[in-house]
Every structure is written in C-alpha cells, then in structure tokens.
Amino acid sequence: MFKRILATITVICSLSGSICAQTVKDFKNMIDSLQTLMVGRTGVSAVVKANKVVRRGYSMDFYFTPGMGDFPWRAKDVEWLRKTLVGLMPESCSKYDVGNLFIGKNRLESYAVPQINSDGSPIDNKFRTKDFRNVHPFVTPVGEPDFIKGLAGRNIALWQSHGRYFEEKTDRWEWQRAPMFQTVEDMYTQSYVLPFLIPMLENAGAYVMTPRERDPQTNEVIADNDPAFEEGRGEGVRIEGRYSEAGTWSDAGVGFADAKAAYSLLENPFRMGTARQAECAEHRKDKAAEARWTPDIPERGEYSVYISYKSLPHSSPCAHYTVKHLGGESEFTVNQKMGGGTWIYLGTFEFDKGSDGCVILDNDVPKG
C-alpha cells in the first residue's frame, strides 16, 4: 500500500512540473522583449501590456491592452507577431502554439489594414459600407470626362481650421487658436488646405464643401430675388447684385434673403426671404423659364461662385446652371434634392469689372 501511494504522488508531481505558466507575471519578460521589438519594427512608441494569457488545449491565447492597437497593422505584421511570440515563449510553454490574439475583446486581425489595390478598386473589408453614391451626383460640371473610380461622386466636408471671432473683452477680432512658433493654427492650416489639399480631392473627383470661406477675394457681391437690406454699405460691406427671371415661375416658400448687414448667432438668412420654382422641361424646345443673377463686379479678378436654393421633395436632381465669365461659359448640373438652405460652391472664375458676368438657371433637363 505504501509503495502504491508513493508512486502515485511521484506521478502527480511530475505532471505538475510540466504545466505551463498561465499568469501574466510569468510572461512579463516576454512582453517586455516584445515591446522593444515592436518599437524597433514600427517606430511607434506605444506601451505593450497583456491583461491575461489563457491556455486552451495546446495553444495560448494572448489578451493585450488597447495600447497594442496604436501600432500600424497589416496581415504580414500579424504573422510576424505570431512567429515572434513563439520565439519568446517561456521555456515551460515552449511546446504550446500561439492561439488567438486579442486587443481588448477584439481579434487582433481586425486591426490589420487591408493591402492597398493597385487597380483603382476599393479595398474589400468588413468595415466597408455600402456605396451610397447617388445616381445623380451633387455638383457635376457639364462636358467634362465622367469617371467612375477614385473619389467621383463623393461629397467631402472639409475646412481649414477656424478663423477670426470677435472678442468682446478686448473689443477686437482675434484668431481662435493660440500663437505657436510664430504662427497660429487658423492661418497655418489654411496655407496648405486651400492651395493643395482641396484641389487634390477635387481633381480626384470629389465635391468639397467648406463651412469656412475658401475665397481670398476681398470683394463680395450677392444677387437675390428678394430686396437686400437698406442699411449703408460702407467699405468692406458686400455689394448688391441684380436678379431677373423670364417664363413661368412661382413661389416656393421660405428661402434666402440678404436682409441684414450683420447677423447674430441665432439669425438665419436662409429663412428670411423667399424661394422661386419652375417646372422642368423635358425637351430643349420646351425651355421656357430662366432665372438670372447678375453681379456688379467692382474690379477684375477671380471670384468664387456660390448658389443657394430650397430642397423640396419634387426638386430636380439635375438643375442646369450656366456661369458666364471672362473665360467663356461653364455649365453645371446640381442635385437640388440635397444641399438646400446653404451656399453651394460651383467654382472659381475670372470676371471683368462691371456686369458682363452672370449665373443663369433654366428649366432644361440635360440629356441622360
């Protein structure tokens, strides 16, 4: 009986001596070495820690803290990590494979950025949403090549930081961001967003909306169907243009009016006036309605052209606009089912001094 009991105790002790460590403390040296290797591989100084290590059969699952997600991951990096963990495994666990890898509760593989395609097609991954590009794009230049890839049909909201605001305590206009290294964010960001980033996105096919004004032109002219404010127009105050219409037009409810020289926080000029509407003509010979906005340009130069309208359930998805400028005529179709109640940018054009230039909206429906 004694020999039998002794033999049993010996076997149990031998088995427990071969059990792999499973506490995080037992893997500390391994994780410390991994951080050094990760920083050296990626150049990113992030903290690598493990919340827990779980043995499942003959494999070990590693649960890392969110800091592991700060590293850039691709499929090849995940494979490298697996091989590295095998090489760093404590001697007591050398016979175990590396199982699942987690960052928090998420699989590490989900952090891997898919390899970029070289054929212009979008990356296919589970985070990709349905392509919601409208059959009728927002703003489309007429006569230009039609592209289906890149950023064609995409609408991007982008602005170049902030700008000036009136500080009542100092009774003056100030930049919103603090001075730093002899500049401020409000000016520095604008120096590359306007001349480089926005043109790059537009050349790739995107339509870019900027809540902050993109045009450095100091002169401003607004033409509208409603009368403008009657207050004095001193230096720096926008100039009033002219509006005319031909054909059959009717009232479309509340719309824009340049009713005040300056607006307070809760005042909305796009709710201070009226909007006009006309039925679309399916054939050019039936075109009978035309609205014309004519600015009185104070001096020759480049001016950004914006339009405004009211979006209604029956609005046209391809309203036809023509901009007449020094370079000729530029035509656009605008999806008026979206974007109502704000300024919609058409482009920047050169205009001569005077009233030769204008913007025309007709009720013609372009082919296609």
List the chain domain ranges: 18-111, 147-209, 221-362
Q: Determine the CATH number of domain 221-362.
A: 2.60.120
Question: Alpha-carbon distance 141 to 143, whole Å?
Answer: 6
258 by DSSP, 3-state: which? coil
Tokens of 350: 């050169």
What does the longest C-alpha to C-alpha distance in the chain come to?
Answer: 117
Q: How deeply is 328 buried, as exposed, middle or buried, from its count of CB atoms within 10 A (0-12, 13-18, 19+)? A: exposed
**Which residues lie across from 50 on neighbouring strands?**
64
For residue 138, give the nearest of 316, 330, 287, 325 by alpha carbon: 316
Provide the 3-class DSSP secondary structure of residue 252: strand
pLDDT, one tens digit for every residue, the chain (368 residues): 444 444 433 343 333 344 565 678 889 999 999 999 999 999 998 999 999 999 998 899 999 999 999 999 999 999 999 999 999 998 888 889 999 999 999 999 999 987 777 776 766 666 666 776 767 899 999 988 888 778 888 999 998 888 888 888 999 988 888 888 888 888 888 888 999 999 999 999 999 999 889 999 999 999 999 999 988 787 878 999 999 999 999 999 999 999 999 898 899 999 999 999 999 987 656 568 999 999 999 999 999 999 999 999 999 999 999 999 999 999 999 999 999 999 999 999 999 999 999 999 999 876 65
Supply the pTM of this predicted model. 0.68
Structure tokens at 187: 């000016």
